[in-house]
Structure 1
Amino acid sequence: MTTLTKLRARVSPQAISKVTRIFNGTLDDIFAELFQNARRAGATRVAVTAEHLDDACLITVDDDGAGITDPIDLVSLGQSDWSGECRTREDPAGMGFFSLAGLDTVVSSTSAVGSFSLGIAGDAWTGEADIEVLPWDGPRGTTIAFHFPPGPDGKLERTVEAAARFFPLPVTYNGKDLARTDFLADAYKIIERDGFRIGVFRDQHSPHVATLNFHGVTLKHAFPVIKEVHHTQWSVQVEIVDAPDLVLVLPARKEIYRNAVLDHLVELCRRAIFSVIYAEPLHRLSFEDWLEARSYCPDFSQAARQLPLWWPTLARDDYREVPRFADLETGAAIYDDTDSFDAVSFGRALRRSAGDEPHKLAGPEPLAFYEPITNIIGYPWYDGIRCFVRTGECFTHDGGAPAEGDETLTLRPDAIRLELTDQHGRRLDIETDFVIQESDDSWGDPDCARIALTQSSELSPDDLTDLIIDAVFSPSDDSDADSYDTQETRFRHDAAVRAHAILEGEDAAIIAGIRMAFADRIAWRIPHGRTLNLTWSRGGSHLQLADAGEGSDQ
């Protein structure tokens, strides 16, 4: 057992032997690191040149910065000779130059105290061979030349262009100025605070787009995204201006190191988004997000008094677009339907009441119904709206006698009344002529749905068929199921038979079924301009094709 009472962490000398594995050795990493070193050295420009040889590409990166004072710092992993100001502002790690590890490299530099040139190749990178320091007579700055394996046509040019795009210094490639772009050019609004430029973007968020520009090095970080309820989505991108304590995870620099400064930046991003929303004419923040927004700005207004107009949910809807939002009208109410049977029944009652305004209820107490939005529960204006659910229905016969305990699948009462109750226990009765209810197996078979239709209803067989389909038809998406069209055609046939039976009797239903089957499967075989005369009974059948003008007695 050791008897030591104190020790101190250190870097093993063997670590240098693994230096070629610290970086991926890609051109992206190399340009990113060399460009950053030039910027930290106070350069005003960076020049990249490339000469394509037979078996390699000779790439040179030249800058007019302060140069390197001591060559030993250049090849000492984790050590650098950056100025005190640079160390304070950026905390450089002294690893960037080793992105070239393993490549034949020549470095030539002139600083205020001297000049040198050195070549590094093979074992010299891992500390197993000496590196000869040679004299150099060149201008102030640093030139790094290295051999890189040849790649696909245009890849080198694209990589340099990408490295220069958001870099703060001008870059040339083979003498040509490369385009630079403001990282936040497309922002809806830019807010500068605490050493950050925060761009707030409207409806442009993508997980595949870089969100942080660290002096030209871009990376993806999941900064806050705030989505208004069925409205605008707000996101941010951040550019570092002067934030010395925000650092990247070494050595790859592909993610932000988690510390208090990152937490502070995240809070700044949320504050920036809320400040932009605050200036908008209206918003639809969830109640939870609105409470947070008020912690930054106490007079933050409530969400707009708007809700989507009520529209029935149909059984076949896998995905349903939210109806358009509209300002609340006088007599605004919410209807929270439970399923498609409830929704279709209520929708029929409203259409029967208000005609071409399918979300309104006419009568002595006119109401305009809207969809419930759970994310905004809590706003005083929303909680003050009457919210109805269906609590029952009443069928009456013989001028008012209720139909009790009738479980038949088809009812033809004299009157139907839907009973609704709001959150305060107050009831609302709505007269209608149609109700459809779920029963055993009704999701797959229109004959199993329980349907009540008043004796005086003016619904046609086609209208009733559509109501049954809307409430009941839910197509199967199993891999071995028929196509949607085939399932819908089959279901419509059965629904139409049921509708004709209710409204016109069994004979009419049989004829309707035959007519639909004939139209679907046989009619297309009759030649254009010809007539099929058909007689069919258990005793025999007679079919004859005739010209369209010939008599029906043939």
Structure 2
Amino acid sequence: MSRRFERSQRIRARASQKALKKVTCLFNASLKDILQELLQNARRSGATEVAIVLLQSDERHRLSLSDNGHGLDDPAVLLTLGESEWSEEIAQGEDPAGMGFFSLANRGTEIHSNGWCVNLSPSHFQGEAEAEVSDSTRERGTEIVFPVTEAEISELQKVLEEVSFYYPLPVTFEGEVLKREDFLARSFYIEEWRGLRIGVTHCRSYALKVNFYGIAIEHVFPHTIQVSFRFENLTVLVDVVDCPELELVLPSRKDIVQNEFLKKLHDEVRCIIYRYLRTQASHRLQFDEWQTAARLGIVLPEAEAKLNRFVPEIADLYLDCSVKEVEVGDNTLLLDIWELDADRQQVFWWSFKRANLPHVALCPESAYKGYSWYDRLPSISEFSFTINMDGEDLNEEQVRQRYPNETSLVVDGITVSATVQKSDGSSEVISWATDVYVARDPF
């Protein structure tokens, strides 16, 4: 019989010794993961530089990573899962998990620090054997040596460049300083907020959005803002300076913890983009974004009054038809015929261009509806053609019925009539002559 459950029983979280036997599987890290963890440890130890050297021999290949930090006093901490010697300031600021060193569990490693050294094999990480600590000539800082494979050596330069590119400390490989760059180097506007540096940039192809002391991770900010109908989008890059509230998912550190702070960050991102736009001489925000900025207390002028000249659709979807952007003026109107098929747009546009009308036709842009300058624009959305034959004005259907078997006709005249809708609700009909009309199939 199973033991009866007692309601007064209390339970507490604890770690099973069996879990240690599985650390070589749980922490089967890649070379990049290992280097990132070791670089983070070097930074936390107060190091000002890190040196990496490849040690090659006929029997094996090893990588040595050494720093000039304050080192480690108690080697037992290395094999104590979840514990570390980090200061209270580091513990509160970054919440280190005390697990990063176990990324070496599957390989084994040799460590020299503060006058001692120890060789650790996978069995030591698994708690199956005791490791002997001996004296070392290294009195300051830490050196960690671990094996690498032939395949990893072939990719080593690339991996080192990746892990050091946004790392805050200089890193050398075989004596050569690896290239570094400010994570926000491509930003054109930067604000600091709650221990973060946040830079506004164009979306383009930036997949890496957050830099955690050299660990650049992907993150989707929900408030990517489209600033014009040409799909020019703005987003942000976030560089961590000292922000305990931004936490990474452990032990991989490849995602941000979904907490209340992250929600606030997402909201602040939108405000920062709006504040950037406020520094510009003009902006191209869609109307709903402009309203959102106002609700958040960021008052912006209306979007710049510019639209694309009208260009009709064509049958060849792959032909590049460049369009010209012009300022909205007294003689501009919207040619709102986008819902029509390409042939209908083309036949009307041919007549409009040749009529020498005083109007400049612009493409409608619904995202700007609501701005005062846009709502004042007159528009044409309705038009018709009249064919004059033998002194009689006919529409297309009447011509089709009268000449059912003709593929083309020479007529006395063709007139276009279009209705101009005005912002005050009134309308007027304008007409002009044209020289060609393409009827719909099967005419």
Normalising by the smaller structure, the TM-score range is 0.7 to 0.9
Corresponding residue for 2:219?
Answer: 221
Cα 1:161–1:415 shift into 2, 3 Å: closer
Corresponding residue for 1:419?
Answer: 418
- Judge which range, 85-94 or 158-167, deviates more: 158-167
> What RMSD over aligned residues (CA atoms) do the two structures have, in Å?
2.5
| 8 Å contact kept, 1:211–1:236 | yes
Q: After superposition, give the CA deviation of every residue in 1:244-282 in whole Å (9 maximum; x if it has no partner).
A: 111111111112121122222222322222222222232
Aligned partners of 1:317, 1:148: CA distance in 2, in Å? 52
Cα 1:59–1:317 shift into 2, 3 Å: closer
| 8 Å contact kept, 1:205–1:235 | no
Alignment of 1:68-217 (within 5 A): 68-110=72-114, 115-151=115-151, 154-202=154-202, 205-207=204-206, 209-217=207-215
Corresponding residue for 2:431?
Answer: 430
**How far did residue 34 of structure 1 move?**
0.7
Counterpart residue identity of residue 388, structure 1? I
Corresponding residue for 2:382?
Answer: 390
| 8 Å contact kept, 2:66–2:142 | yes
Corresponding residue for 2:400?
Answer: 407
| 8 Å contact kept, 2:274–2:298 | no
> What secondary structure is seen at the aligned counterpart in 1 of 2:432?
strand
Counterpart residue identity of residue 204, structure 2? H
TM-score (norm 2): 0.87
> What secondary structure is seen at the aligned counterpart in 1 of 2:76?
helix
Q: After superposition, give the CA deviation of every residue in 1:225-257 in whole Å (9 maximum; x if it has no partner).
A: 323221633232221101111111111111212
- Judge which range, 290-299 or 383-392, deviates more: 290-299
Counterpart residue identity of residue 422, structure 1? Q
Equivalent residue in structure 1 for 2:351, among 333, 349, 352 = 349
Cα 1:61–1:268 shift into 2, 3 Å: same
Corresponding residue for 1:25?
Answer: 29
Q: After superposition, give the CA deviation of every residue in 1:88-120 in whole Å (9 maximum; x if it has no partner).
A: 10110011001111223122222xxxx532221
Q: After superposition, give the CA deviation of every residue in 1:401-429 in whole Å (9 maximum; x if it has no partner).
A: 55684434666354523232527362423
> What secondary structure is seen at the aligned counterpart in 1 of 2:83?
coil
Sequence identity, in percent?
32
Aligned partners of 1:235, 1:101: CA distance in 2, in Å? 39
Corresponding residue for 1:378?
Answer: 370
Aligned partners of 2:161, 2:385: CA distance in 1, in Å? 71
Counterpart residue identity of residue 225, structure 1? T
| 8 Å contact kept, 2:120–2:131 | yes
Q: After superposition, give the CA deviation of every residue in 1:437-492 in whole Å (9 maximum; x if it has no partner).
A: 42xxx3xxxxx24xxxxxxxxxxxxxxxxxxxxxxxxxxxxxxxxxxxxxxxxxxx
| 8 Å contact kept, 2:38–2:101 | yes
| 8 Å contact kept, 1:398–1:414 | no
Corresponding residue for 1:258?
Answer: 258
Aligned partners of 1:347, 1:239: CA distance in 2, in Å? 51
Q: After superposition, give the CA deviation of every residue in 1:278-312 in whole Å (9 maximum; x if it has no partner).
A: 22232221112222233345430111111111122
Aligned partners of 2:153, 2:137: CA distance in 1, in Å? 35
Cα 1:425–1:151 shift into 2, 3 Å: same
Counterpart residue identity of residue 292, structure 2? E
Aligned partners of 2:327, 2:420: CA distance in 1, in Å? 24
Cα 1:401–1:38 shift into 2, 3 Å: closer
**How far did residue 143 of structure 1 move?**
2.0
Q: Which has the higher contact order (CA 8 A, sep 6+)?
A: 2
- Gaps of at least 5 residues in structure 2 are none
| 8 Å contact kept, 1:349–1:430 | no
Whether 1:2 aligns to 2:20 is: no
Aligned partners of 2:153, 2:109: CA distance in 1, in Å? 23
Cα 1:417–1:29 shift into 2, 3 Å: closer
**How far did residue 36 of structure 1 move?**
0.4
Aligned partners of 2:376, 2:270: CA distance in 1, in Å? 29
Counterpart residue identity of residue 305, structure 1? A
> What secondary structure is seen at the aligned counterpart in 1 of 2:150?
coil
- Judge which range, 407-416 or 210-219, deviates more: 407-416
**How far did residue 62 of structure 1 move?**
1.6
Alignment of 1:221-240 (within 5 A): 221-223=219-221, 224-228=223-227, 229-230=229-230, 232-240=232-240
Aligned partners of 2:384, 2:310: CA distance in 1, in Å? 20
Q: After superposition, give the CA deviation of every residue in 1:487-520 in whole Å (9 maximum; x if it has no partner).
A: xxxxxxxxxxxxxxxxxxxxxxxxxxxxxxxxxx
| 8 Å contact kept, 2:413–2:433 | no
Aligned partners of 1:373, 1:75: CA distance in 2, in Å? 63
Corresponding residue for 1:308?
Answer: 308
| 8 Å contact kept, 2:67–2:142 | yes
Aligned partners of 1:205, 1:99: CA distance in 2, in Å? 34
- Whose Rg is larger? 1
Counterpart residue identity of residue 407, structure 1? R
Aligned partners of 1:308, 1:335: CA distance in 2, in Å? 11
- Gaps of at least 5 residues in structure 1 are 355-360, 443-447, 450-554
